[in-house]
A and B are shown apart, each in its own frame.
Chain A
Amino acid sequence: MSLDTRGRSAAQELLRSTRSDLEARTMLDTLHRGSDRRTGPRVAVVAVLVAVVLAVGALSWSAWHPGGSTPPAVTTPTPTATSPSPASLGLSEPATAVPPPGWTLVSTPDLAVVTSLDHYFVEVLVSPTPIGTSKDPAPSPLTAQSLAAWVSTHSGLVRTAVVPTTIGGRPAFQVDLRQATGAPRGTVCDPANRDCVPLVRLASHQLPFGVVGGTVGRAYMVTLPSGRIAVVAAGAGGDDRIDALVKATQPLLDSLAFPAG
C-alpha cells in the first residue's frame, strides 16, 4: 500500500467519523450565544461583567459540588481598561491572581491555565501525581520539597538547583525545566504527540503534564494551606529563553495568592 492510498483512506475515515458525530447546528447556536461581534472598547466593559459572573459562578459551583462533577468552563477575557483586581482561578482550593491584559483563564477544579496571546502560560496543578519510572522512581513521601528534588534530578531534564522561594504567599521550591539532550522521550503529554518528558498527572486529565522539547519552564512546588501540594508552572510554547519567560510571566506569578480557606 502506498502512502497516498493510506493517507486518503485515513482522511476518508476521519471525515466520516467526524460528520457522523458532529452536532454542527448545536455548535452554531452555542457560538451565537457566546459571541460578540467586534465592538471595540465595549468588549472590555462586557468582559469585566462576564469575568465576574463566571468567576463567582465557578466558585459557587465548587462550593456546592465538592468532589462532584466539574463546573462550566471559565474562560475569562481579561479586561484592559479597568483597574485589575484579583480573580478566582476556579480551583477547588482558594487561589486568586490578576491576569495581565489579554491573558485568559480556563480552569477545572485541579487545573488552572492562564495563557497569553503569544505563547506564554502559567498553569496551577493541584494534587499532582508524579509519574515514576524505574529510572526516576516517584518521590516518597510526596512533599513539595521532595517533588522539587525529584524534578531537579530527573533523568529526562537538565539538572538544576532547587531554589527556596515563595509563591502566592506560601513557601515554595523553584526548579527550572528543560529537556536533557538525548533524553528518553515519550509523546504522551500532548494531543499532537510532540516529544516530551512526562512528569505528573492530574485526576481529571488523561494527558500527563511534562516538558516538551524545545521549550523551557519554571516550576514552583508549594504546599497549600489545606496541606495539598500544588505545582505552579510557567512555560512558553516553542521558546527556549528562560529570561523571556520570566519577564512575561512574573507579573502574573507575583499576583498569585493562596489564601487559607
Chain B
Amino acid sequence: MTDPVIDEPRRSRREPGSGSAPRLAVAESFDAFYLRELPSLVALARALSGSAAAEDLAQEAMMAAYRRWDEVALLDLPAAWVRRVCANLSTSLIRRRAAETRAVLRAGGQRTAYAELPPEDATFWAEVRRLPRRQAQAISLHYVYDMAVSDIAVTLDCSESTVKAHLVRGRSALARRLGVDEEDPS
C-alpha cells in the first residue's frame, strides 16, 4: 500500500548516456546523512507544524528515508527527498495529530518544548503556518534553508514557475499580516 504523504524516491535521471557525464554513485552512510540533516529538518518541521510534534515528524521522515536508503542514497539529492517528505508530513493534519500524541505520551502528558522563540519570531512562524499548505512549505524552505527558487522546485518536485507563484502570494500575505514591507527600501 502506498503512502500519499511519503512519495517513492525516483531514480536519478543522470544516467550514463543521458547527456550528462556519468558519475560514480558513492552513497553516503545513512548515519552521516542523518546527523547532518536532522537539525535543519527538525527546524523545518517546527516552522511548519509548531514545536510539539516537530521531532516526531522529522524522525518519521528520516525513518522513511532509512527504510528506502538503498534507493534514496542514490538520488541526486537525498536531502531534497527527505525534506519534501518532512514538509508533507508537517502539513498533514492527521500526521501532525498522531505525532503530537506520541510526543505527549513520551513526555508523560506534558508537551515537549524547545526554548521559546522570541515573540516576534514566534509570530512570524505562526503566520507562515496560517498560509495555504504549499505557500507555507515554499516560504519555510526559502528561509530555513536559504533556498533559491530552483532548489525549492527540486525539493517540492514542482516547476519553478509554480514555486514563484507560491512565494509571491505567500510573501504578500505574510508582509500584510506582519505589517512589514516585502522588500528592503533601496
Contacts and interface: CB of A to CB of B under 8 A. Distances in A.
Interface of A: 1-11, 13-15, 17-22, 24-25, 27-28, 30-31, 35-38, 69-73, 75, 80, 101-102, 104, 106-108, 111, 113, 115, 117-121, 123, 187, 190-194, 203-207, 212, 215, 237-238
A8 B142 CA distance: 9
In the complex, the 5 A-B pairs of residues with the closest C-beta atoms, listed nearest first: A191-B50, A237-B93, A10-B124, A11-B143, A10-B121
Interface in B120-140: 120-121, 124-126, 129-130, 136, 139
Nearest to A39: B67
B117 to A, nearest CB: 6
B79 interface: no
Given A187-B130, A205-B104, A2 B182 contact: yes
A48 B20 CA distance: 47
Nearest to B53: A191
Interface of B: 1-4, 31, 34-35, 38-40, 42-43, 46-55, 59, 62-63, 66-69, 90-98, 100-102, 104-106, 108-109, 111, 114-115, 117-118, 120-121, 124-126, 129-130, 136, 139, 142-144, 146, 171, 174-175, 178, 180-185
Given A3-B174, A191-B100, A28 B40 contact: no
A251 B49 CA distance: 30
Given A31-B63, A187-B130, A14 B117 contact: yes
Contacts, number: 193
B1 A117 contact: yes
Contacts of A10: 117, 120-121, 124-125, 143
B18 to A, nearest CB: 27
Q: Is the interface of B mostly helix, strand, loop or mixed?
A: helix
Contacts of A38: 67-68
Given A21-B115, A31-B63, A119 B38 contact: no
Given A14-B43, A191-B53, A204 B38 contact: no
A18 B2 CA distance: 31
Q: Chain A's interface: helix, strand, loop or mixed, by majority?
A: mixed
B180 A2 contact: yes
A117 B3 contact: yes
Nearest to B103: A73
A3 B180 contact: yes
Given A7-B139, A121-B97, A207-B100, 10 more contacts: A6-B120, A6-B124, A8-B146, A10-B117, A11-B143, A13-B118, A14-B46, A14-B125, A193-B126, A237-B92
Given A10-B125, A108-B101, A118 B4 contact: yes
A106 B120 CA distance: 34
